[in-house]
Amino acid sequence: MRRSPALVVDTSSSNNNDLNYELAISPRSSIYSTTTVDLKNGSKASLPQEFTPANAQPARATPTPSIRLLFSLISRRHLLLLLLPAVISSIISGGIAPFMTYVVGQAFDAFAQFPLTANPPQAAKDALLRGVGIAALELLGLAVGSLALGSLTSSLWIWTGEMNVMALRKAVYVAVTKKDMVWFDTNMGSTEGSVQSEQEEQQGPLGAGGLMAKFTRETDDVRMATSLASGMLLQYLTTCFTCLLLAFLRSWALTLVILSAVPVLMIIQGLSQGLASPLLAQERGQTGVAATLIERAVSAIATVKAFNASEHEKSRAGAVFAKLNDAARKLNSVWGLTSALAQFVMMSMFVQGFWFGAKLVREGRVSAGDVMAVFWACLIATSNLQMCIPQFITLAKGKFAMVALVSLLDEEPARSSTPITPHFAPTTPSTTRFSFTTQPKSRTLRKIAPAKCTGEFALHNVTFAYPSRPTLPVLTDVSLFLPANETTFIVGSSGSGKSTVAQLLMRMYEPQQGSVMLDEQDVRFLDEEWMQMHVAGVGQGTQGGVVILDGKSVLENVALGAFGRHAGREEVEEACRAALMHEFVRDLPEGYDTLLGSGTGVGLSGGQKQRLAIARAKLRNPAVLIL
């Protein structure tokens, strides 16, 4: 037999504002009896500035941008099957170009040893032909190997980047869904990994649009940094160092003269990184703010038009775009100047190399082939070093983006559900007889999941303020008793805390002082999934906070309310009849199989969405239903 809801919270307002806080409770023996709780807002007071939420998390140190952090979420399987072969393939590919300098040196020696006479002997001709032919075959082999290794390397690194970003997206999604309401009310983590200005803080929380734009851009930066950028960078560095090694073995003096400007390049690169880092962080922050402003204006376009606020929203967005453009222009100027200076230094340093090489050949200290091999090795090394600069920029973007994303993962959730993972679980000291140390060890405490729920709620001396307004309490030292198996109405004037009480009962927030009890158990120690199974709520307003799954049928959208079980068609129809939505669903083109959504599906009005939410709650059959 189905149970009746044990608690109904009516959020309708009362016009009686004369009385102070009152509490009138009369327990009834019948489940159809009614209890009325009257809330007045005469008990409000101000909280001290240092008053913080009970579930506030201590500030954590920002992770350090590093290569290790970029690949910290990749699995061991992908590490062994993808990343390790990709690294080996990049190193081997990087050794092809240095070997080419050796082949070029051999060919140039063959030409240099050919006699400059009118009638050279046949043996000299055969030696020249044999030397050039061997060099040509070696170059052909290098070309085939470069083609095969290049394809394999690119495929492995692209696959590695996609697997890494897939794991990152899943981890961030799970972490965000486990965040409590405090995080969503306080800028959605917009201060994590970045610094906000006072003007940005005055523009309000980051918003869903800004969060999505920030997440999309940063995950794309991580994907680019952990795919081809890392592979190409490793290949270029391998080529650079191998060419330098071969050049030093041929003629260390000529190599040092040619590469005398490398320290200047390192200084230029260091200054570039120092100037670009704050500009890159500023650009990312302004991008999130711009996306938030646009998302809010578009979502409330009717209000913007009604109040003729188009110019106001345009000016706000224009100011943010101006800051974004300024940061992007400065950032591009820094990177452009860095690339130009690096290319100028690398090209100009060969002037002194040609002069010194000719001097060494005249003195007989090196051969012409050695000079050519050293020149080719240094040219390839410097060109690969130049090609490393864009990859370093991409890698720097990815590291800073990974810092911002990992900061979402580092925060421990204020509460968790059973089964509790060791990383997030509350712990208690314990010792084990098999321990080799005297240090106390920690073991996981499981949350309480009672066998049944009767639905008796009680608030004991609850004081609560929203995280966005921590010094303005909504409830001050409030005590309520909501008996089980009864219909209870909480009435009061606007702003008296009716919706706040409902949110505390659903544990969307936790009070700063006092406790919320369910069946004489503190809700902080109850399993969250168990509470979601036995306590359901339907939000106020015409929208009701209802989420419609686009591209899913009415049947699938209502069946979403069946928590942890499968709901049949007859059960869904029964819930829809109880919510008074069966009639209009039957009139839809495909009935319960009609697709819903803003795209190809059918749209629902605000009242229809709220009825759908009631049908979901009815289908769940909770012990407590909060309206």
Alpha carbon distance 29, 31 (integer Å): 7
DSSP 396-431: HHHHHHHHHHHHHHHSPPS---SSPPTTTS-EEEE-
DSSP for 575-625, written as a single string = HHHHTT-HHHHHTSTTGGG-EESSSSSB---HHHHHHHHHHHHHHH--SEE
On whether the CB atoms of residues 317 and 310 are closer than 8 A, the answer is no
Greater model confidence, 31 or 155: 155
Most confident stretch, 212-216, 322-326, 415-419, 446-450? 322-326
pLDDT class for 593, splitting at 50, 70, 90?
confident
- Residue 519 falls in which region: left (phi positive, over 0), alpha (psi -120 to 50) or beta: left
Percent of the chain having pLDDT more than 90? 6
Instruction: Tell me the CB-side half-sphere exposure of residue 495, using CA atoms within 13 A.
Output: 7
Average pLDDT over residues 578-584: 85
For the residues 181-209, what does the mean pLDDT come to? 53
- Judged against a pLDDT cut of 80, whether residue 423 lies above it is answered with no
Alpha-carbon gap, residue 176 to 187, rounded angstroms: 13
The pLDDT of residue 2 is above 60: no
pLDDT at 139 over 70: yes
Provide CATH code, domain 1-46+440-537: 3.40.50
Is CATH 3.30.1300.10 correct for 67-410?
Answer: no
Mean pLDDT of 229-244: 91
More confident residue, 260 or 190: 260
What confidence tens digit (pLDDT) does each residue in 468-490 have?
788 888 888 888 888 888 888 88
Domain boundaries, the chain: 1-46+440-537, 67-410, 541-627
Least confident window among 89-93, 326-330, 425-429, 583-587: 425-429
What Cα–Cα distance (Å) separates residue 297 from each residue in 183, 569, 622?
23, 40, 38
Q: Give the contacts of 378 (CB within 8 A, at least 6 positions apart).
A: 243, 244, 247, 255, 258, 259, 350, 353
pLDDT at 570: 86
pLDDT on residue 412: 54
> Do 1-46+440-537 and 67-410 fold alike per CATH?
no
Q: Give me the residue label for tokens 């509470």.
A: 531
pLDDT at 553: 84
Determine the Cα–Cα distance for residues 377 and 255; give it in Å rounded to an integer. Answer: 9
| The amino acid at 136 | A
541-627: CATH number: 3.40.50.300
Continuous H helices in 196-261: 198-202, 207-226, 228-250, 252-258
For 515-557, write each residue's pLDDT tens digit. 898 888 888 888 888 888 888 888 765 444 577 777 788 888 8
Helix-, strand-, coil-residue percentages of the chain, each rounded to 5: 60, 10, 35
Mean pLDDT taken over the chain: 76
Tokens, residue 565: 């079980």
Alpha-carbon dihedral sign for residues 173, 175, 176, 180:
positive
Cα–Cα dist 453/152, whole Å = 59
Closest CA to 527 of 427, 412, 423, 420: 420
Q: Is the confidence at residue 64, as pLDDT, over 60?
A: yes
Q: What is the DSSP letter of 81?
A: I
Element (H, E) at 171: helix 122-177
The per-residue pLDDT for 266 is 79
pLDDT digits (tens, 9 = 90+) for 67-88: 888 888 888 898 899 999 999 9
Strand 457-464 versus strand 475-482 pairing type? antiparallel
Interatomic CA distance for residues 426 and 411, integer angstroms: 14
Query: Global pTM?
Result: 0.61
Residue 442 and residue 402: Cα distance in Å, rounded?
Answer: 30
Q: Is the confidence at residue 198, as pLDDT, over 50? A: no
